[in-house]
Amino acid sequence: MTPDARILDGKAIAGAVRSDVAGEVGELSTTIGRAPALATVLVGDDPASEVYVSNKHRACEEVGIESVHRAVPGTVGQSELEEIVRDLNGEDEVDGILVQLPLPDGLDAGPVIASIDPMKDVDGLTAENQGRLASGSPWLVPCTPAGVIEILDRSDIPIEGKEVVVIGRSNLVGRPLISLFLDRNATVTACHSRTVDLPGVCRRADILVAAVGVPGLVGADFVKEGATVIDVGINRTDDGLVGDVEFEQVAEVAGAITPVPGGVGPMTIAMLLANTVKAAGSRR
Ligand code: NAP
């Protein structure tokens, strides 16, 4: 059956963001006399993390951002790893620092993230950047939530005054999104695993965002007719990659919907590139 909903094509929107970023990189390179640079820190040899990091390097190259890579053995000590990050803080020609997560067992990500200079924190995960966002003066914002807002903006879906329901309250996705929607004058409801009558709460939403990690959690009974549904979930199942939303069912009720794959996923790297340019621009 053909879905009734408008499909929000994250891949195309991410392409538009990347092409804007490429333009900004060109201008900035002239102003600062070098290409902006993103440092990646990869600890250990987890194959999935290696793929994520090499995708980031390729994306950087495509828009003219320089990559500086630190491949660190999984046997590294906690304080040695934090020292590697602090060294990158001190490198003048590094504009952004990304520590690929999760870290191998035995290493604590919290203090490693806390070692990143907030001005170079292109993942927006330091307490300073999270606090700035939560208090209404965002600087570098986590990439996936920023990508959700970008999809809505570039699809001309208004946010101000709308009822927004976000399912999920992680530091990586849910919480930053809640702050971003509040900043845009939406009326925001935060749902989580203890929410009573989740479908009923979600049916209030003009914009419903699922950032949970439970395949197919959001069915048609969660969705008000004509609502916009953004599926952040990425779940590997026997049927391949699926989101948190029952796409086929929900697409018959929703007004607009992001697919998985090809929705929010491609936006994350695009917003990382945008954050790197933002960080570089602030250091000129
Ligand atoms: P997370 O840290 O595990 O957080 C999941 C959130 O969902 C928690 O707040 C949890 O509630 C809530 N939750 C779990 N089960 C629930 C249920 N049955 N009903 C209602 N709420 C429930 O996950 P995350 O890092 O935010 O990631 C969420 C999803 O997004 C995952 O599928 C992840 O792979 C995906 N993701 C995608 C991208 C991308 O680039 N597209 C980036 C990051 C993450 P409690 O707080 O009560 O435990």
Q: What is the pLDDT of residues 174-191, one digit of tens each?
A: 999 999 999 999 999 999
Categorize the per-residue pLDDT at 3 as very low, low, confident or very high, splitting at 50, 70 and 90: low
Domain boundary at 117, 132, 157, which? Answer: 117
Is 100 assigned a catalytic role? yes
* Average pLDDT over all residues of the chain: 97
Which tens digit of pLDDT belongs to each residue from 41-92? 999 999 999 999 999 999 999 999 999 999 999 999 999 999 999 999 999 9
Domain count, the chain: 2
Same domain assignment for residues 108 and 149: no
What is the average per-residue pLDDT within 103-131?
98
Structure token pair of residue 196: 């009573």
Same domain assignment for residues 175 and 218: yes
Same domain assignment for residues 50 and 103: yes
Categorize the per-residue pLDDT at 1 as very low, low, confident or very high, splitting at 50, 70 and 90: low
Same domain assignment for residues 109 and 154: no
Q: How far is the CA of 212 from the centre of ligand 1 (A)?
A: 3
Same domain assignment for residues 262 and 147: yes
Domain residue limits at 218: 142-266
| Amino acid in the structure at residue 140 | L
Q: What pLDDT, on the 0 to 100 scale, is given for residue 24?
A: 97
Q: What is the CATH number of the domain that holds 80?
A: 3.40.50.10860
Ligand 1 near 194 CB (within 6 A)? yes
Categorize the per-residue pLDDT at 17 as very low, low, confident or very high, splitting at 50, 70 and 90: very high
Ligand 1 near 145 CB (within 6 A)? no
As a dihedral over the C-alpha atoms of residue 47, residue 109, residue 268, residue 220, rounded to 10 degrees, the angle is: 90
pLDDT of residue 283 exceeding 80: no
Nearest to 270 by CA among 48, 80, 8, 11: 11
Q: Is the peptide bond before 261 cis (omega within 30 degrees of 0)?
A: yes
If you count DSSP H runs as helices and E runs as strands, how many of each does the chain have, helices first? 10, 11
Query: Which numbered atom of ligand 1 lies nearest the CA of 264?
Result: 41
What is the average per-residue pLDDT within 122-139?
97
Does residue 196 sit within a domain? yes
Same domain assignment for residues 147 and 96: no
Same domain assignment for residues 159 and 107: no
Residue 212 is given by DSSP the state S
Using most ligand atoms within 8 A of CB, pick from 8, 232, 260 the residue to mutate for ligand 1. Answer: 232
Structure token pair of residue 36: 């902006």
Does residue 5 sit within a domain? no
Same domain assignment for residues 204 and 162: yes
Ligand 1 near 216 CB (within 6 A)? no
Same domain assignment for residues 201 and 245: yes
The burial class, CB within 10 Å (0-12 / 13-18 / 19+), for 34 is middle
Structure token pair of residue 121: 């924190």
Q: How far is the CA of 17 from the centre of ligand 1 (A)?
A: 25
Does residue 26 sit within a domain? no
Long-range contacts made by residues 99-105, C-beta under 8 angstroms, separation at least 24?
Answer: 99/41, 99/43, 99/123, 100/40, 100/41, 100/42, 100/43, 100/49, 100/52, 100/53, 102/49, 103/43, 103/44, 104/43, 104/44, 104/46, 104/74
* Percentage of residues of the chain with pLDDT beyond 90: 98
Same domain assignment for residues 110 and 147: no
Does residue 132 sit within a domain? no
Question: Three-state SS for 257?
Answer: strand
Catalytic residue among 95, 123, 206, 231: 123
Does residue 177 sit within a domain? yes
Q: What is the CATH number of the domain that holds 195?
A: 3.40.50.720
Q: What pLDDT, on the 0 to 100 scale, is given for residue 4?
A: 86
